[in-house]
Amino acid sequence: MGFVSTVRDGHPRVPILVMSPIFSPSREEQTGQTGMSLAETRADIAEAVRLLREHGDADVHLVDGLDVFGPAQEHLMPDGLHPNAAGYAHMATSITPLVRAHLQPEPPSHRTGAGVTHP
């Protein structure tokens, strides 16, 4: 939250996408040096984004790493940690619509005539 808040201080009107970690079979439930598993890390990141939004930052958004590269893509991770070329291609393909969905501006409304609004 501190990092996102610091970025927000310098860029008050810029949309920010926060992405949680992608799938890693051996690290999903294993506690790492941080004292947390990847599953716990994802949950904490989602909670941080929720709190930032709840406290007024409507321009911070979450992209769940599992939506970008999840368990179904494990075969694209030959060493269990790093995606191969096909895995990175999958990530690019899967993240694009997620980014667009969060960053696409709402269509402007134009008032004309007697209070009629046209998109």
H/E stretch holding 60: strand 60-63
Chain center to CA of 99: 8
Q: Which of 46, 49, 48, 85 is nearest to 66 (CA)?
A: 46
Question: pTM of the full predicted structure?
Answer: 0.80
**Residue pLDDT tens, the chain, 119 long:** 899 999 999 999 899 999 999 999 988 999 988 899 999 999 999 999 999 999 999 999 999 999 999 999 999 999 989 999 999 999 999 999 999 988 876 655 544 444 443 34
Q: Report the alpha-carbon distance of residue 39 to residue 31 in Å, rounded.
A: 10
Q: Which of 41, 46, 83 is nearest to 63 (CA)?
A: 46
